[in-house]
Amino acid sequence: MSLTLRTISREQHLAYIQSLPSASHMQVPAWADVKTEWRSESLGWFDSTGQLVGAGLVLYRQLPKIKRYLAYLPEGPVLNWYAPNLEDWLRPMLAHLKRQGAFSVKMGPPVIIRRWDAAAIKSGIQNPDVKRLRDVEATHIEPRAFEVADRLRKMGWQQGEDGGAGFGDVQPRYVFQVPLENRSLESVHKGFNQLWRRNIKKAEKAGVEVVQGSYEHLGEWQRLYEITAERDHFRPRPLSYFQRMWTALNTEDPNRMRLYFAMHEGEAVAAATMLIVGGHVWYSYGASANHKREVRPSNAMQWRMLRDAYALGASVYDLRGISDSLDESDHLFGLIQFKVGTGGQAAEYLGEWDFPLNKLLHKALDMYMSRR
């Protein structure tokens, strides 16, 4: 199959994404408007009949002082990763990006290698010899994903420096997902562990109410998010980021981003943002107050978001990143513990891959990033 690659319009790009069952929220054209500090471009792959068969959102970050760029395709490009002629897809992309002044290309193939169901993760947590998710036998392995990795290596792509622990990647390599396809809501609820079911009931009894917010409630979201950032020691994004995200994504599709609040006695005690692209729904950011945790607002909110995702006909509810640590003393352990209670599955992606177009500049960037 002969393929040609060229810049496409946002309209073409969006129409292509809308024709698919789903794609990453970082590969929709509007994501470029969220990431204003990057220059962006939509790329399209065309087959010999002139049909658009793949697309990619490229973000370009300029190096300080020189007109050379890091080209980044977060959780993309969106193409047939299992195509036997993968080289024919990626070579023209590299040539195009080089012409655009890129010295290095980073991409995140949306390809899942392994999945672990909740039972497998639980047994891993209970086993004192197991420290990492990858030490647990996977419930499902995708052999074709290993072939993709081999092809990329043969082409000269390099995998993230950390050897796959998931932290050298900009996007999470390990995520937690609740599959919804061909399941009843009742079976999803039954899949929750006892603690989750108890907490959902507790929230209901306490009178926790989950409501949807809109743009004008982003200030209230920010208040809770900054409380969370202080508690969990991370640097919060500014309110302007979420306002831009809301405006950009919901202008593209009025149902792309949602905001939820868990209310108790008239007060917002937890909040979350949700993103929707086709059949894939993500819980993207979460926040909660330091008080009233005993009324379990976060469980109530997740259950409502899951039900809404189900009502939208979603095939998967994605709780986004987890660390692969199963060590209870690890500060990130609580994250997997909370998410595993939903009875879903952990999934490992292929991770992010780099192609140095200019080895010297690529190495300089690596050193610069490692010092930060």
One domain for residues 342 and 356: no
- pLDDT for 1: 67
One domain for residues 195 and 290: yes
Q: Average pLDDT for residues 196-223, to the nearest whole number? A: 98
Residue 105: band (very low, low, confident or very high) from pLDDT cuts 50, 70, 90: very high
- pLDDT for 167: 36
- DSSP-H helix ranges across 19-142: 31-34, 86-99, 118-126
For 271-310, the DSSP string reads EEEEEEETTEEEEEEEEE-SS-GGG-HHHHHHHHHHHHHH
pLDDT digits (tens, 9 = 90+) for 54-90: 999 999 998 888 889 999 999 999 999 999 999 999 9
Number of CB atoms found within 10 A of residue 280's CB: 21
One domain for residues 341 and 356: no
Question: Tell me, what CATH number does 261's domain have?
Answer: 3.40.630.30
266: in domain: yes
Q: Which residues are registered as beta bridge partners of 355? A: 105
Residue 27: band (very low, low, confident or very high) from pLDDT cuts 50, 70, 90: very high
Residue 24: band (very low, low, confident or very high) from pLDDT cuts 50, 70, 90: very high
- pLDDT for 298: 96
One domain for residues 129 and 71: no
One domain for residues 223 and 238: yes
One domain for residues 116 and 79: no
pLDDT digits (tens, 9 = 90+) for 229-249: 999 899 999 999 999 999 999
148: in domain: no
One domain for residues 8 and 64: yes
- pLDDT for 168: 45
- The number of folded domains in the chain is 2
pLDDT digits (tens, 9 = 90+) for 277-321: 999 999 999 999 999 989 999 999 999 999 999 999 999 999 999
20: in domain: yes
One domain for residues 364 and 291: no
- pLDDT for 163: 41
pTM for this prediction: 0.93
One domain for residues 51 and 128: no
Q: Average pLDDT for residues 154-166, to the nearest whole number? A: 70
Token pair of 78, please? 């969106």
One domain for residues 255 and 273: yes
One-letter amino acid identity for 36? Answer: T
152: in domain: no
284: in domain: yes
How large a percentage of the chain has pLDDT more than 90?
86
245: in domain: yes
- pLDDT for 361: 82
* Burial state string for 204-226 with b = 16 or more CB within 10 A and e = fewer than 16: eeeebebeebeeebbeebbebbe
84: in domain: yes
- pLDDT for 334: 87
Computed over every residue of the chain, the mean pLDDT equals: 94
- pLDDT for 160: 74
- pLDDT for 164: 39
- pLDDT for 48: 94
Q: Of residues 166 and 208, which shows the higher confidence score?
A: 208
In terms of residue numbers, what domain contains 257?
Answer: 112-142+162-349
pLDDT digits (tens, 9 = 90+) for 112-148: 999 999 999 999 999 999 999 999 999 999 999 999 9
324: in domain: yes
Q: Map residue 206 onto helix, strand or coil.
A: coil
Residue 99: band (very low, low, confident or very high) from pLDDT cuts 50, 70, 90: very high
- pLDDT for 372: 54
| CB-based contact 357:98 (threshold 8 Å) | yes
Q: Average pLDDT for residues 156-162, to the nearest whole number? A: 80
One domain for residues 104 and 222: no
- pLDDT for 103: 94
One domain for residues 46 and 189: no
